[in-house]
């Protein structure tokens, strides 16, 4: 599934609050999102969500790398509208990250 089995739980781990409210865990999130990048280094999803994680962590220099990867990623055949929307949102993130 091109890394989705790691991307989806990774996104949950960094978006959900940690203990005692929820099960969120930034370290687990980063590990899972990096695994997704190993599986699908050029994929729009793996790069988009890792970029989101880095922005959330205020790691802007690192996020800039993934901004470019998302911008240059090929659209998935069954997800052209979703991917176009992600690339459009990333254009706004470029200015935020100082790209």
Residue-wise pLDDT for 21-75, tens only, equals 888 899 999 999 999 999 999 888 899 889 989 988 999 999 989 988 887 777 7
Q: Hey, where are the domains in the chain?
A: 4-96
Dihedral over alpha carbons 82, 83, 84, 90 (to 10 degrees): 110
Tell me: pLDDT of 4 over 80.
Answer: no
- What residue has token string 């930034």? 26
28-42: per-residue pLDDT in tens?
999 999 999 999 998
Q: Looking at the domain that runs over 4-96, which CATH code has it been given?
A: 1.25.40
CA distance 44 to 57: 20
Tell me the three state secondary structure of residue 81.
helix
């Amino acid at each position: 599934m091109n890394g989705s089995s790691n991307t989806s739980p990774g996104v949950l781990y960094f978006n959900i609050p940690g203990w005692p409210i929820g099960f969120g865990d930034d370290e687990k999130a980063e590990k899972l999102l990096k695994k997704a990048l190993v599986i699908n280094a050029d994929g729009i999803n793996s790069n988009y969500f890792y970029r989101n994680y880095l922005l959330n962590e205020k790691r802007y220099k690192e996020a800039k790398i993934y901004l470019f990867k998302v911008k240059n990623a090929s659209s998935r055949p069954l997800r052209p509208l979703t991917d176009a929307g992600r690339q459009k949102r990333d254009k706004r993130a470029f200015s935020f990250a100082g790209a």
